[in-house]
Chain A
Amino acid sequence: MVFEIDAKDLHYRELNQQIRKAIAEGAKHLVIKHVNGHRYLAAGVSAEVDIDVYGVPGLDLGAFMRGPRIRVHGNTQDGAGNTMDEGKIIVEGMAGDVVGYAMRGGKIFIASDVGYRVGIHMKSYMDKIPVLVIGGKAGDFLGEYMAGGIIVLLGLNSRYPERPLAGMFLGTGMHGGVIYVRGHLPETQISPVLKIEEIDDKDKATLENILIEYAKDLNFDLEEIWKEKFFKIKPKTHRPYGKLYAY
């Protein structure tokens, strides 16, 4: 059964209380209408539930959450998926800054562009591998301090034709995980502690899995996505500063 909430005159606290109450009462599918700037939607929620959000959710959408599948029918603001643990956030429009900050599991699929500092400090452990896919372009500091997980940057569906695929300081301090980029990035953009390579068969299989799901969720043409070559960016060593203090 679909449980509907009208967020129009609700403060974000009331809205989140209603979401949690509905989930506690067994709701499996929530539809939230007239969302505009409501913060912390489904933050910290630990449950298997589908949430459809209509409007622009506020800061820290799905922060710390473990399980919910959120689909945003529109754009989202800064901090979506902050430190999320499990679940999925699908954004049909663009997203703001610091998407997927310190994300440690689950998936975030963005149809269009993202802002600055996206995927910073993502991490992984055993089978917990967070995945962040960006359909458009990214601002500066993409994957800064990244310690694990996968970022895929497609550059396909961008509102900024004049901007480069990704901004400056890409992967600064990165020491784990991988960033897959569709198309070529200039060498000047890659920090000396990172290496950029063509993808191998193993990468291709990983990407295939992710992109099939992404294309299905957001109506992308999978063939179109594969038309351009992918490159992977990885740290040369997982301890780039290991010798800095030891010798």
Chain B
Amino acid sequence: MEIFIPNKEISGCGLSGVINRKGELIKGEVIIESICCQMDRGNGLGAGYAAYGIYPEFAEHYCLHVMADTKKALKEVEEILAHKCYLVHQEKIPTRPVPGITSPPRFYRYFVKPRYEGDLREICEGTPDEDDYMVRLVMKINRDVPGAYIISSGRNMGAFKGVGFPDQIAEFFRLDEYSAYIWTAHNRFPTNTPGWWGGAHPFTILDWSIVHNGEISSYGTNRRYLEMFGYHCTLLTDTEVVAYLLDLLIRRHGLPIELACMALAPPFWEEIDRMEEPERSVCTAIRAVYGPAMLNGPFAILFAYNGGLVGLNDRVKLRPLVAAKKGDFYYMASEEAAIRAICPDPDEVWCPKAGEPVIVELEPDTIPNQRSYLRGEPFQISSPVCRISLVEEEETEEEEEA
């Protein structure tokens, strides 16, 4: 009797990321080569990239990458955008036909600014509230428009993702034509969620993007926690919660990155017991306040924003992560080979400790709208008036209809 063994590789996802601290642009080929070195970590059911610094001509505008199944869905999105935004430019995201990629959704990008109504305009325009406005808009579209999703919404950055191997997705989105100062890439091996276009990594909100290897078994808890703050998970994949948690903890609550990472991958209580003050009180407070933000389960993640790249492992390092440095370039990946493929002789190579983030920020004042979260944002209170716009308006409309 012959036993048939399918030629199948059982593996885990692959990650790769690169940043140049001086904001020097890195060609798309570089990150493609790195992630393709980890080809065997994925199975063709998802791949994606995030690129920072790719839209300098519209650096002041939020760039919405929209993925739509149908023309109708796209039209619905455009109608909402026409009401809620000032649109400076829109275009089809250039793609190439690629063998093996069949019936992809439509991809368009829109460069927009929030359009406040009435008195709100004077109060809110140009303030940090614009970020909140965009978050609410993304949530609204992703929830309300069937078959359309905003897969990236930051300024001067974009996410490109889909179902395929990383070389196919790069070819499809013509990523060889882009240059960025931060790139992250993902090669997917879906384990317990569907392999569909929206479920490919990176997951993003505003300029946050995240790629992930592992399983967030606390997804349900995290998701319910995020709903209290107006974030809604619509992409059927555990990793989505991490993007929103970063936005909530770091941008909205103003936690420095180290503390936000501690909330996601906190030390064990027995470690906290051995700590000295004031570290012990800080850790205790973070665990107490942000219990529902803790990520349970194995993970290695890379996340990026307009200003930095961060690598983080779960607290017992159940997924691999390697970092390296060469001059102003910093690299992080699942495998050292993926770094060596694009940087054969790094100055340093190291394995980050479980739960300890590797944070690499750009040098100060390198790019427009640069963000730095090393010390937390200076505390800013946006006017409560700004916070009601989208929601309030809908309710009034409904009442009128009733």
Residue of B nearest to A93 (CB): B349
A56 within 8 A of B: yes
A168 CA to B336 CA, complexed, in Å: 24
Supposing A115-B351, A188-B274 touch, asked if A36 and B316 sit within 8 A by C-beta, the answer is no
**By CB atoms of chain B within 10 A, which of A12, A55, A97, A169 has the most?**
A97
- Is there an interface contact between B353 and A37, defined as CB atoms closer than 8 Å? no
Question: What residues on A are CB-neighbors of B354 within 8 Å?
Answer: 116, 139-140, 167
Contact A36 B351 (CB under 8 A): no
Q: Which residues 170-208 of A have a CB within 8 angstroms of B? A: 188
> Considering the chains assembled together, what is the distance between the CA atoms of A188 and B275 in angstroms?
13
* Residues of chain A with a CB closer than 8 A to B317's CB: 97, 115-116, 139-140
Closest residue of chain B to A160, judged by CB? B350
Q: How far is the CA of A115 from the CA of B268 in the complex (A)?
A: 19
Chain A interfacial residues counted at CB < 8 A: 27
Q: Which of B40, B316, B320, B351: most chain A CB closer than 10 A?
A: B351
- Judging by beta carbons under 8 Å apart, are B340 and A36 in contact? yes
A116 touches B350 (CB 8 A): no
Q: Does A113 contact B (CB under 8 A)?
A: yes
Tell me if A159 is interfacial: C-beta within 8 Å of chain B. yes
Digitize A35-53: 1 where CB-to-B-CB distance is under 8 Å, 0 elsewhere: 0110100000000000000
B87 within 8 A of A: no
CA distance A12 to B37 in the complex (A): 11
Q: How far is the CA of A41 from the CA of B90 in the complex (A)?
A: 50
Interface 1/0 per residue, B259-279 and A, CB below 8 Å: 000000000100100100000
A168 to B316, CA, bound (A): 9
Contact A12 B351 (CB under 8 A): no
Tell me the interface secondary structure of chain A in the complex: loop
For residue A96, which residues in chain B have a CB less than 8 angstroms away from its CB?
Answer: 320, 322, 336, 351
Question: Is there an interface contact between B316 and A56, defined as CB atoms closer than 8 Å?
Answer: no
Count of B interface residues, CB-CB < 8 Å: 22
The CA-CA distance from A36 to B34 in the complex, in Å, is 11
User: B267: nearest residue on chain A (CB-CB)?
Assistant: A168
Render A137-166 as a binary contact track against B, CB cut-off 8 A, 1 for contact: 001110000000000000000011001000
Q: Determine which of A36, A94, A169 lies in contact with B337 in the assembled complex, contact meaning CB atoms within 8 Å.
A: A36
Q: Which residues on A sit within 8 Å (CB–CB) of B37? A: 36-37
B19 to chain A, nearest CB (A): 21
Q: Kindly state the separation between the CA atoms of A78 and B349 in the bound complex, as whole angstroms.
A: 15
B325 to chain A, nearest CB (A): 12
Min CB distance A227 to B, Å, is 26
Contact between A37 and B316, CB atoms less than 8 A apart: no
Interface: A119 (CB within 8 A): no
Type the 1/0 row for A82-123, where 1 means its CB is closer than 8 Å to any CB of B.
000000000000101100000000000000010110000000
Q: Give Cα A75 to B341, complex, Å.
A: 14
Bound complex: CA A36 to CA B350 (Å): 17
The answer to whether B40 and A159 have CB atoms under 8 Å apart is no
Q: Does A77 contact B (CB under 8 A)?
A: yes
Q: Does B335 contact A (CB under 8 A)?
A: yes
Answer whether residue B312 sits at the interface, using C-beta atoms and an 8 A cutoff. no
- Inter-chain CA distance A53–B227, complex, in Å, is 52
Nearest chain A CB to B44 CB, angstrom units: 15
A68 within 8 A of B: no
Q: Which B residues are CB-close (under 8 A) to A113?
A: 351
Contact of A56 among B274, B340, B353 (CB under 8 A): B340
Q: Residue A37 contacts which of B268, B274, B335, B349 (CB distance < 8 angstroms)?
A: B335
Q: A37 touching B320 by the CB < 8 A rule?
A: no
Contact assessment for B335 and A12 in the assembled complex, using a CB-CB cutoff below 8 Å: no
Q: Please state if A163 and B320 are interface contacts (CB–CB under 8 Å).
A: no
Q: Please, how many angstroms separate the alpha-carbon atoms of A12 and B341 in the complex?
A: 15
Q: A55-B340, A139-B317 are in contact. Are A39 and B353 (CB under 8 A)?
A: no
Q: Is the Cβ of B320 less than 8 Å from the Cβ of A78?
A: yes
Q: Is the CB of B351 within 8 A of A37?
A: no
Nearest chain B CB to A200 CB, angstrom units: 31
Flag if A77 contacts B316 (CB, 8 Å).
no
Asked if B338 lies at the interface with its beta carbon under 8 angstroms from chain A, I say yes
Residues of B within 8 A of A115 (CB): 317, 320, 351
Question: Does any Cβ of B come within 8 Å of A58's Cβ?
Answer: yes
Q: Would you call B152 an interface residue if the criterion is a C-beta within 8 Å of the partner chain's C-beta atoms? A: no
Say yes or no: A58 contacts B351, CB within 8 Å: no
Q: Is B38 an interface residue (CB 8 A)?
A: yes
Within 8 A of A (CB), among B57-116: none
A78→B11 CA distance, assembly (Å): 13
- B interface residues with partner A (beta carbon < 8 Å): 37-38, 40, 268, 271, 274, 316-317, 320, 322, 335-338, 340-341, 348-351, 353-354
A-B pairs with the 9 shortest C-beta distances?
A: A37-B337, A116-B317, A36-B337, A56-B337, A56-B336, A115-B351, A37-B37, A36-B340, A56-B340
